[in-house]
C-alpha cells in the first residue's frame, strides 16, 4: 500500500483536517517534476546550485537572519545551503516556522518556493493543533488527579469509618516523608487476598505539577521500601501527595444512574448529593472513574499516533522532494521537525505512563495484563465462520424464496377460494418479519458504505470498542431470520380446512406465534450469546424512547425513534398478533379485529406512538439545550401526528360502509382534511430531511446546492438521493390519494409495499444523516465524547 493511502487509513477521522495535507504537497511536487522533465533538470545538486552566486546566498542568509530580531536563536543552515529554517516569534507569544528557499532564482524555482510555503503552512497547522490538544489533556489530567484524591479518601472512609474520621497523620508509615505518604485501598470489589485491610501504598501524582516539578529538579525520588513491581518491571515513583480525608468535606457525588425517578428528583432539587460513604456509592464511583481513565487513555493514544504519523509524513514528503529535485534539503528540515514541539515534547508519553501506573495499581489490583487489556481493548477481528454462515443462510433464503414463488404460481394460491382469507389473517403475521428483515438489510448496507467512506458510525452511536456490529454480522442476523420466516410461510400455505375437523392444523397455524416468541426470547436473553452487548444497547435505547422526556436525549435514542416512525405498519402487525391469537380463532383463521372498537382505538395509538416519542424528545432537548431548532422540529412531528391521525381516521371510515348522504359528506370532509395535513407534513418533513438532517441545498457552498464537504466524490448521488426522498415521502399519501386497492393487488399487499418503500427511504436517510453528523464532528475536531465524573468540587480552589 502506498504511503498516502496508509496515512489516510490511520488518521483519526474527526481530526483529518488537522493532519498534514500529504496529497496536496505531493501534487505540488508532481508539478515540480513535470517542469523539470520538460525543461531538463540538472543532473546533480552542484549543477542546480551553480546558478546562484555566493554573494547572493550570503545576502539572502543575512536578510533571513535579521527578520525583526524575533527569531528564536539563529537560523539553521543546511550543508548544501538549499534552505534556511527558523522559528519566528509572533506578537501574540506564539511561534511559527519559516523556510527560506535559497535557489528561488533557478529556472522553475517558483514551484519549489510554493512547495516550501505550503509545507510551512502545514507544519504550523499541525504543531498548533498538537499544542492545543496537549494543553487540553494536561487540564483533564489535573481534573482526574483531583477525582483520584476524592476516590482514595472515600475508599479509606468506607473501608474503616473509625480510622477515616481520625487525623490523616495517623496513616503515615515510618520511612515515608510527609509529602510522599498516601493511603490507598483496593477496589471495593477486590478479592485479592494480598491486600490488607488498611494497606498503605504510594499514590501516583497525575497533576500537571508533577511535570513541572520533574523538569525543574531533573531527579527521581527513589525509595527502596516503596519501589513498585508490576509483572516483572519496576517504576520509580516521582512525585507524591497525601490523600487527605479533608477533601471529602469539599465534594459532592453524582453517581446515581439516570432513571425517570432520578430525573424528576433532579428537576426538584440538585442532582449532586452529599456523600453517604456506602460501599455501593464507592462501587459506582469506581465504575465512573474506570470509564474516565479508559477514555482519557484512548485520547492520549490517538494524540501520540497523531504526532507520529505527521512526523512520518513530513519525513516522507521531504525525501520525495530530495529525490525529485536531486537536492539535500530533507536533513535540515527534519532536524527542525525533531527539535520542534512536535518532535521533542514528551508530555503525552509521560501522561500515558502515569495513567498506566495509576490504573494498574488502583483499578486492577496491580495486575498489569488485566489493567492494560482494559486500557487497550483489542480491535474486533473478522471471523471466517461469520462470513460462511452469512453466505449459507443467504443462499437458503434465496432458495426458499424461489420455492415460495414457484409454489404460489403453480397452485394459484392467491386466486383460490381461501386466498382472501389468507391475505387478511396470515399475511400480516408474516409481513412483520419481512419489514424487520428489510430494515436490517438497509442497516447492513448503511454500515458497509459508512465504512467505505470512513464515517465513524461506532463513535457517533457510542458503541463500546469491539462490540459494534459490522455489516456481515447484521446480514447474518437478517438472513437467519428470513430463513425462519420463509420456512414458516412454506409450511403454512394450506388454503383449505380439513373437511373432517373443519379447521386448519393447529401446529402450522401457531408457527407465526412461535417465531415472534423466539425473536423476543433472543432479544431479552440474559446469556452472552448472539451479540448480547448490542441487544442490551438496543433495549436501553428503546427504554429511553419509551420514557422519552425523562431521559437525556442522545443520538442513538432519537435515531431509534426515527427508525420506529418508519415501522408503523410493523407495529400495527404486532397489534394484530395480539388480537388474532388472543381473541380470534386461529384454527379456523377467523377474527373480530376489524369490527372491534378496542382494536380500532389501538390502531390509532400504535400509529402515533413513534411520532409522539420524537415530539417528547424534541421538547426535552429544547428544555436542556435551549435550541430553538428543536421547537421547529417538535412542531414538525406534531403536524405529522395530526396528519397520521386524520389519515388513519379516513382509512377506517372508508373501510366501513358509507350509506347515507351525511356519511358521504363527512367522509369527503375528512379526506380533504387528511390530504391537507398530510401535504403540509410532507413538505415540512422533506425540507427538514434535506436541509437540516442532511445539510444540503446550500446555495453558496463550494458544491452548488449541496454543502462544502462531501464524502462521496460523485455529486450526482446527492441529487438522486434528494429526488428519491421526495418521491418516497409521497408514498405515505396513497391512502388519501385514492390508491388503496388495485385490480391485481390485495389491499394488504399494497399496504405492505408502501411500508417497504418507507423503510427503503429511511435507509437512504440514515446514510446521509450520519454523514452530516460525521462532518460536523470533523469540523469541530470532536473525536471523543464527554465522560461524567463522580465527584464535584464545591470549592474550585480545592
Buried b (16+ CB within 10 A) or exposed e, 764-783: bbbbbbbbbbbbebbeebeb
For 5-27, what is each residue's pLDDT tens digit? 888 888 888 898 899 999 999 99
- Mean pLDDT within 450-479: 92
Interatomic CA distance for residues 184 and 747, integer angstroms: 71
Question: What pLDDT score was predicted for residue 591?
Answer: 79
Distance CA 624, CA 787 (A): 18
Q: Is the pLDDT of residue 524 over 80?
A: yes
Query: Which is higher by pLDDT, 419 or 231?
Result: 419
Residue 705, C-alpha cell as written in the block:
446546492
pLDDT, residue 35, reads 82
**C-beta of residue 237 within 8 angstroms of C-beta of residue 176:** no
| In the predicted structure, residue 278 carries a pLDDT above the cut 90 | no
Quick one: cell of 249? 468535606
Find which of 99-108, 110-119, 188-197, 487-496 is predicted with most confidence, using mean pLDDT: 110-119
Task: Give the C-alpha separation, 386 to 394, whole Å.
Answer: 12
Q: Which of 104, 87, 84 is nearest to 332 (CA)?
A: 84
Sign of the C-alpha dihedral computed for residues 109, 110, 114 and 116 taken in this order = positive
The residues with which 84 forms a beta bridge, in sequence order, are 77, 100
Residue 691 pLDDT: 95
Element containing residue 384 per DSSP (H, E): helix 384-411
Backbone angles phi and psi of 753, in degrees to 5 = -65, -45
Question: For the ranges 48-52, 374-378, 391-395, 550-554, which has the lowest average pLDDT?
Answer: 48-52
Question: Measured between alpha carbons, how far is 783 from 487 in angstroms, rounded to an integer?
Answer: 45
Neighbours of 616 (CB within 10 A): 19
Rounded Cα gap, residues 638 and 612, in angstroms = 8
pLDDT at 558: 94
Q: What digits encode the pLDDT tens for the residues 211-262?
A: 444 444 343 343 433 344 334 333 433 444 445 677 777 788 877 767 776 6
Q: And the C-alpha cell for 139?
A: 487540564
The separation between CA 583 and the C-alpha centre of its own chain, rounded to angstroms, equals: 44
Judged by phi (left if over 0) then psi (alpha if -120 to 50, else beta), residue 466 lies in: left
* Residue owning grid cell 549543477: 47
Which of 152-166, 438-452, 511-525, 691-705 comes out lowest in average pLDDT? 152-166
pLDDT computed for residue 565 by the predictor: 94
d(CA 126, CA 226): 41
Query: Counting beta carbons within 10 angstroms of the beta carbon of residue 151, is it exposed (0 to 12), middle (13 to 18) or buried (19 or more)?
Result: buried
Least confident of 181-195, 379-393, 505-519: 181-195
CA 145/CA 153 separation, integer angstroms: 12
DSSP letters for 674-710: HHHHHHHHHHHHHHIIIIIIS---BTTSSSTTB-S--
What whole-number distance in Å separates Cα of residue 560 and Cα of residue 551?
Answer: 14
Structure-block grid coordinates of residue 331: 536533513
Residues 538 and 440: their CA atoms lie apart, in Å, by: 13
| pLDDT recorded at residue 155 | 87
7-21, 434-448, 644-658 — most confident range: 434-448
Angle 174-177-179 from CA coordinates, rounded to 5°: 135
User: What is the structure's pLDDT at 736?
Assistant: 52
Q: In this structure, what DSSP letter does residue 91 have?
A: T
The residue with greater pLDDT, 766 or 344, is: 766
Q: Hey, which of 28-42, 135-149, 647-661, 742-756 has the most confident mean pLDDT?
A: 135-149
Strands of 436-527, DSSP E: none
What is the mean predicted confidence (pLDDT) over 654-677? 73
Q: Which residues pair with 590 in a beta bridge?
A: 585
Averaged pLDDT, 294-316: 93
Distance CA 703, CA 775 (A): 15
Lowest pLDDT segment from 225-229, 303-307, 658-662? 225-229
Alpha-carbon gap, residue 388 to 473, rounded angstroms: 11
Distances (CA, A) of 646 to 294, 416, 659: 51, 35, 21
CB 446 within 8 A of CB 763: yes
pLDDT at position 262 is 67
Q: Angle at CA 279, nearest 5°, toward 273 and 284? A: 60
The pLDDT of residue 767 is above 50: yes
381-391 as b/e: b if 16+ CB within 10 A: eeeeeeeebbe
573 contact partners, CB below 8 Å, separation of at least 6: 428, 429, 431, 432, 435
Instruction: Tell me if 788 sits within 8 A of 254, measured CB to CB.
Output: yes
For residue 98, the cross-strand partners are 86
Nearest to 428 by CA among 145, 735, 755: 755
Please calculate the CA angle 630-260-293 and round it to the nearest 5 degrees: 85
Strand partners, 85: 76, 99
- pTM of the predicted model as reported, rounded to 2 decimal places: 0.81
* Confidence band of 595 (pLDDT split at 50, 70, 90): confident
Percentage of the chain modeled with pLDDT above 70? 77
Confidence of residue 62 (pLDDT cuts 50, 70, 90): very low
Sorted by sequence, the CB contacts under 8 Å of residue 380 that are 6+ apart come out as 465, 466, 467, 468, 470
Confidence (pLDDT) at 1: 60
- How confident is the model over 686-710, as a mean pLDDT? 93
Does 41 have pLDDT greater than 90? no
Range in 107-111, 193-197, 349-353, 476-480 with the lowest mean pLDDT? 193-197
Residue 86 has pLDDT above 90, yes or no: no
Nearest Cα to 633, choosing from 708, 553, 542, 569?
553
Predicted pLDDT of residue 55: 39
624 has pLDDT over 60: yes
Range 621-626 average pLDDT? 90
Residue pair 47/68 in contact (Cβ under 8 Å)? The answer is no
Question: How many other CB atoms are there within 10 angstroms of residue 323's CB atom?
Answer: 12
Among 775, 754, 757, smallest CA distance to 765 is for 757
- H helix runs in 160-207, sequence order: 161-165
Residue 180 to residue 626: CA distance in whole angstroms: 47
Give the max Cα distance, the chain: 115
Most confident of 176-180, 325-329, 507-511, 513-517: 513-517
Bridge partners (DSSP) of residue 745 are 742
Cβ-Cβ contacts under 8 Å for 301 (sequence gap 6 or more): 352, 376
Which pLDDT score is estimated for 453?
Answer: 93
- When comparing pLDDT for 540 and 241, which is higher? 540
pLDDT at 101 (0 to 100): 81
Cβ density class 247-273: b for 16+ within 10 Å, e for less: bbebbbbbbeeeeeeebeeeeeeeeee
Task: Give the range among 7-21, 91-105, 296-310, 385-399 with minimum mean pLDDT.
Answer: 91-105
Provide the grid cell at 536. Answer: 442490551
pLDDT in tens, 133-179: 999 999 999 999 988 988 888 888 887 665 544 443 333 333 323 33
* Confidence check: pLDDT of 618 > 90: yes
**Is the pLDDT confidence value at 204 over 60?**
no
Q: Which long-range contacts (CB under 8 A, 24 or more apart) does 225-232 make?
A: 225/175, 226/175, 226/176, 226/180, 226/201, 226/202, 228/201, 228/202, 228/357, 228/361, 230/357, 230/360, 230/361, 230/366, 230/368, 231/367, 231/368, 231/369
Q: How far apart are CA 476 and CA 444, in angstroms?
A: 10
Supply the pLDDT for residue 662: 65
Amino acid at each position: 500500500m502506498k504511503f498516502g493511502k496508509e496515512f489516510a487509513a490511520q488518521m483519526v477521522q474527526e481530526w483529518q483536517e488537522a493532519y498534514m495535507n500529504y496529497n496536496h504537497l505531493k501534487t505540488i511536487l508532481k508539478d515540480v517534476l513535470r517542469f523539470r522533465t520538460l525543461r531538463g533538470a540538472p543532473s546533480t545538486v552542484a549543477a542546480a546550485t551553480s546558478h546562484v552566486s555566493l554573494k547572493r546566498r550570503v545576502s539572502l542568509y543575512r536578510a533571513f537572519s535579521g527578520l525583526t530580531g524575533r527569531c528564536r536563536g539563529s537560523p539553521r543552515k543546511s550543508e548544501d545551503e538549499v534552505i534556511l529554517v527558523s522559528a519566528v516569534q509572533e506578537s501574540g507569544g506564539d511561534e511559527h516556522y519559516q523556510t527560506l528557499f535559497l535557489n528561488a532564482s533557478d529556472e522553475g524555482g517558483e514551484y519549489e518556493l510554493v512547495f516550501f510555503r505550503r509545507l510551512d503552512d502545514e507544519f504550523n497547522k499541525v504543531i498548533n493543533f498538537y499544542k492545543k490538544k496537549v494543553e487540553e489533556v494536561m487540564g483533564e489530567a489535573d481534573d482526574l488527579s483531583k477525582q483520584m484524591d476524592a476516590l482514595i479518601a472515600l475508599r479509606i472512609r468506607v473501608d474503616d469509618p473509625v480510622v477515616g474520621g481520625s487525623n490523616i497523620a495517623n496513616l503515615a508509615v515510618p520511612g515515608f516523608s510527609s509529602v510522599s505518604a498516601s493511603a490507598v485501598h483496593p477496589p471495593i470489589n477486590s478479592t485479592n487476598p494480598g491486600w490488607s485491610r488498611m494497606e498503605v501504598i504510594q499514590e501516583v501524582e497525575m497533576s500537571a505539577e508533577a511535570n513541572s516539578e520533574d523538569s525543574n529538579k531533573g531527579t527521581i525520588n527513589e525509595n527502596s521500601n516503596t519501589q513498585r513491581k508490576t509483572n516483572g518491571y519496576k517504576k520509580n515513583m516521582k512525585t507524591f501527595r497525601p490523600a487527605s480525608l479533608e477533601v471529602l468535606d469539599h465534594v459532592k457525588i453524582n453517581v446515581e444512574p439516570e432513571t425517570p425517578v432520578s430525573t424528576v428528583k433532579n428537576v426538584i432539587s440538585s442532582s449532586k448529593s452529599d456523600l453517604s460513604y456506602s460501599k455501593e456509592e464507592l462501587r459506582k464511583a469506581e465504575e465512573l472513574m474506570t470509564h474516565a481513565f479508559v477514555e482519557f487513555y484512548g485520547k492520549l493514544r490517538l494524540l501520540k499516533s497523531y504526532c507520529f504519523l505527521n512526523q512520518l509524513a513530513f519525513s516522507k514528503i521531504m525525501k520525495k522532494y530530495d529525490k525529485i529535485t536531486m537536492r539535500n534539503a530533507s536533513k535540515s528540515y527534519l532536524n527542525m521537525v525533531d527539535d520542534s514541539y512536535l518532535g521533542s515534547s514528551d508530555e503525552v508519553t509521560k501522561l500515558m505512563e502515569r495513567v498506566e501506573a495509576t490504573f494498574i495499581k488502583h483499578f486492577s489490583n496491580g495486575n498489569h495484563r488485566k489493567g492494560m487489556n482494559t486500557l487497550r481493548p483489542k480491535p474486533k477481528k473478522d471471523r471466517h465462520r461469520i462470513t460462511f454462515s452469512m453466505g449459507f443462510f443467504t443462499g437458503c433464503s434465496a432458495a426458499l424464496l424461489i420455492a415460495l414463488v414457484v409454489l404460489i404460481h403453480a397452485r394459484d394460491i392467491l386466486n383460490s377460494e381461501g386466498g382472501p382469507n389468507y391475505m387478511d389473517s396470515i399475511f400480516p403475521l408474516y409481513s412483520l418479519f419481512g419489514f424487520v428483515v428489510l430494515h436490517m438489510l438497509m442497516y447492513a448496507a448503511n454500515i458497509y458504505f459508512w465504512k467505505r467512506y470512513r464515517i465513524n458510525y461506532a463513535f457517533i452511536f457510542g458503541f463500546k470498542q469491539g462490540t459494534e456490529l459490522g455489516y456481515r454480522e447484521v446480514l447474518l442476523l437478517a438472513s437467519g431470520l428470513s430463513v425462519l420466516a420463509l420456512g414458516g410461510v412454506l409450511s403454512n400455505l394450506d388454503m383449505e380446512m380439513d373437511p373432517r375437523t373443519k379447521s386448519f392444523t393447529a401446529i402450522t397455524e401457531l408457527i407465526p406465534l412461535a417465531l415472534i416468541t423466539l425473536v423476543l426470547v433472543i432479544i431479552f436473553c440474559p446469556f452472552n450469546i448472539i451479540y448480547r452487548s448490542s441487544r442490551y444497547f438496543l433495549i436501553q435505547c428503546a427504554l429511553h424512547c419509551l420514557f422519552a422526556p425523562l431521559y437525556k436525549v442522545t443520538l442513538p435514542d432519537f435515531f431509534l425513534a426515527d427508525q420506529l416512525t418508519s415501522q408503523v405498519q410493523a407495529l400495527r402487525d404486532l397489534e394484530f398478533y395480539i388480537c388474532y391469537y388472543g381473541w380470534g380463532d386461529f384454527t379456523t383463521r377467523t377474527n373480530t379485529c376489524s369490527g372491534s372498537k378496542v382494536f380500532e382505538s389501538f390502531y390509532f395509538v400504535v400509529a402515533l406512538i413513534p411520532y409522539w416519542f420524537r415530539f417528547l424528545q424534541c421538547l426535552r432537548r429544547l428544555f436542556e439545550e435551549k435550541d430553538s431548532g428543536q421547537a421547529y422540529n417538535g412542531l414538525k412531528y406534531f403536524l405529522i401526528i395530526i396528519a397520521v391521525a386524520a389519515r388513519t381516521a379516513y382509512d377506517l371510515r372508508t373501510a366501513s360502509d358509507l350509506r347515507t348522504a351525511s356519511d358521504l359528506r363527512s367522509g369527503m370532509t375528512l379526506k380533504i382534511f387528511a390530504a391537507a395535513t398530510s401535504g403540509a407534513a410532507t413538505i415540512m418533513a422533506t425540507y427538514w430531511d434535506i436541509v437540516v438532517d442532511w445539510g444540503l441545498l446550500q446555495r453558496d457552498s463550494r458544491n452548488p446546492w449541496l454543502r462544502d464537504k462531501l464524502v462521496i466524490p460523485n455529486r450526482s448521488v446527492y441529487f438522486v438521493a434528494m429526488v428519491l426522498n421526495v418521491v418516497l415521502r409521497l408514498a405515505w399519501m396513497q391512502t388519501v390519494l385514492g390508491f388503496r386497492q388495485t385490480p391485481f393487488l390485495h389491499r394488504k399487499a399494497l399496504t405492505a409495499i408502501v411500508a417497504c418503500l418507507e423503510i427503503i427511504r429511511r435507509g437512504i436517510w440514515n446514510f446521509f444523516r450520519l454523514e452530516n453528523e460525521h462532518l460536523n464532528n470533523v469540523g469541530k475536531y470532536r473525536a471523543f465524547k464527554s465522560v461524567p465524573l463522580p465527584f464535584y468540587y464545591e470549592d474550585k480552589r480545592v
